[in-house]
Amino acid sequence: MSNYYQPEIETMPHEKIRELQNERLLKQVRHVWDNVPYYRKKMQEKGVTPDDIKSQDDLHKLPFLSKADLREAYPYGLMGKPLKDCVRIQSTSGTTGQRVVAFYTHHDLHIWETMCARAIVAAGGTNEDVVQVSYGYGLFTGGPGLNGGSHLLGSLTIPTSSGNTDRQIMFIKDLNATILCCTPSYAAFIGERMKEMGMKPDDIPLKAGIFGAEAWSEEMRRDIEATMGIKAYDIYGLTELCGPGVSFECSDQHGMHINEDYFIAEIIDPKTGEVLPEGSTGELVFTTLDKEAFPLIRYRTRDITSLTREPCPCGRTHVRMTKLKGRTDDMLIIRGVNVFPSQIETVLINQGYPANYQIIVDRVNNTDTLDVRVEMTPEMFTDNLGVVNQKQAKLVEALRSMLGLKAKVTLVAPKTIVRSEGKAVRVIDNRKI
């Protein structure tokens, strides 16, 4: 059984979606050409005009936009509308060191909130649900996006924002929150606190969680689901494109449906920029189709994933992207081996450790070192040195077989790794290269 927020669009036959995309793409390219000199210049340099773009088959002719372009054009250089038509600014958390500022008209906010409403309905939400939004509010898109989607759907919205975990739990319990929206690391933290307070999954009314804004593993999902007694849904987005809701999971929990009426997604080879066939893993590239204030053509997300058009049991026809493997800038190259923090997380959870961990990379005598710091738990601890040692050695071995390189494991006391209420800082890279 499936519910849709907008069934006619979410289950539209693929050919029809393509028609809609083609029609919107031509308009969007024309809008950018007419209003964004920065991108027009890029097109001119490539010798392309809007007339060359007849359908999405011509998309590959258009130049890419990257985060570097956003930085160069900061703050107003990529705007498609005058400031007087804009009603909102959002900005990135700057976790990767480069702040992005995006602008929205009323229309832009509306389509963003529509996408978030679709995500909430896909997670089983209706206007009878109580949606607790524990994403940060403010410049970060997490809070405002889900808040807007929940309003649009008509659900009672609790705008707790992040932080004050005991109060979060109190609100969930006392005000019967049924859907929780926050980052997966914060969800894990709330779950951990619930356990500490002696609460069982049945003690809280939550039935679903919508967790995004950072890459998280399947194992972490199962962990959160068991601790809270909920179904946990992934949601994806970027401030550059609007925020969360660009794609979202349905009850099938098998990839996130990209809102294809608002975006065209491509997968490219991050080295050559060449478009890869369906099913290939590569860098995700988006073209907005209906944005007024901040339209982006072929924006390189640096996120690594793949796309599939396999029919989804939920009935949605929009293309699905697999759970993120990581962001190209999350990827660590250690002794020449590509390492994603999510791989380390998978191993930790499989070995019974908490998902709270820290990865410290350094370079000693010209060799990269990888130190995984993980907290000791009462379940893992015994009085026997040998047993604890063996468990540690087992973890080192499991990491080696997953990553293909030897990591050091440091067991630390509980609560020494800082808990995150927003995006977790998992990696500390001390290498001076």
Partner 1 sequence: MSVKQISVFLENRPGCLHEMTKALADANIDLRGLSLAETSDFGIVRLIVDDVLGTADTLRAANFVASLTDVLAVEVPNVPGGLNKVLEILDSAGVNVEYMYAILGNKKSDTAYMIFRVNDNAKASYALAGSGVKIMEADELSAL
- Contacts with partner 1, residue ranges (CB under 8 A): 376-378, 380-385, 388-389, 392, 409-416
> With respect to partner 1, which residue has the nearer C-beta, 20 or 396?
396
Least CB distance to partner 1 at residue 109 (A): 44
Least CB distance to partner 1 at residue 185 (A): 19
> With respect to partner 1, which residue has the nearer C-beta, 55 or 410?
410
Q: Which amino acid is at 7?
A: P
Least CB distance to partner 1 at residue 409 (A): 8
> With respect to partner 1, which residue has the nearer C-beta, 54 or 408?
408
Least CB distance to partner 1 at residue 196 (A): 10
Least CB distance to partner 1 at residue 383 (A): 3
For the record, the structure tokens of 37 come out as: 């000199």
> With respect to partner 1, which residue has the nearer C-beta, 55 or 389?
389
CA dist 280 and 263 (Å) reads 19
> With respect to partner 1, which residue has the nearer C-beta, 281 or 410?
410
> With respect to partner 1, which residue has the nearer C-beta, 279 or 414?
414
> With respect to partner 1, which residue has the nearer C-beta, 164 or 410?
410
> With respect to partner 1, which residue has the nearer C-beta, 156 or 398?
398
How far lies 357's CA from each of 106, 187, 347, 388, 408, in Å?
Answer: 41, 15, 11, 18, 13
How far lies 84's CA from each of 81, 88, 89, 111, in Å?
Answer: 8, 11, 12, 19
Least CB distance to partner 1 at residue 424 (A): 19
Least CB distance to partner 1 at residue 374 (A): 12
Least CB distance to partner 1 at residue 198 (A): 13
Least CB distance to partner 1 at residue 220 (A): 22
SS (H, E, C) the chain: CCCCCCHHHHCCCHHHHHHHHHHHHHHHHHHHHHHCHHHHHHHHHHCCCHHHCCCHHHHHHCCCECHHHHHHCCCCCCCCCCHHHCCEEEECCCCCCCCCEEEECHHHHHHHHHHHHHHHHHCCCCCCCEEEECCCCCCCCHHHHHHHHHHHHCCEEECCCCCCHHHHHHHHHHCCCCEEEECHHHHHHHHHHHHHCCCCHHHCCCCEEEEECCCCCHHHHHHHHHHHCCEEEEEEEECCCCEEEEEEECCCCCCEEECCCCEEEEEECCCCCCECCCCCCEEEEEEECCCCCCCCCCEEEEEEECEECCCCCCCCCCCEECCCCEECCCCEEECCEEECHHHHHHHHHHCCCCCCEEEEEEEECCEEEEEEEEECCCCCCCCCHHHHHHHHHHHHHHHHHHHCCCCEEEEECCCCCCCCCCCCCCEEECCCC
CA dist 200 and 227 (Å) reads 8
> With respect to partner 1, which residue has the nearer C-beta, 89 or 360?
360
For the record, the structure tokens of 203 come out as: 């003690």
> With respect to partner 1, which residue has the nearer C-beta, 2 or 351?
351
State how beta strands 282-288 and 299-305 pair: antiparallel
CA dist 174 and 102 (Å) reads 36
> With respect to partner 1, which residue has the nearer C-beta, 115 or 417?
417
Least CB distance to partner 1 at residue 355 (A): 17
Least CB distance to partner 1 at residue 381 (A): 5
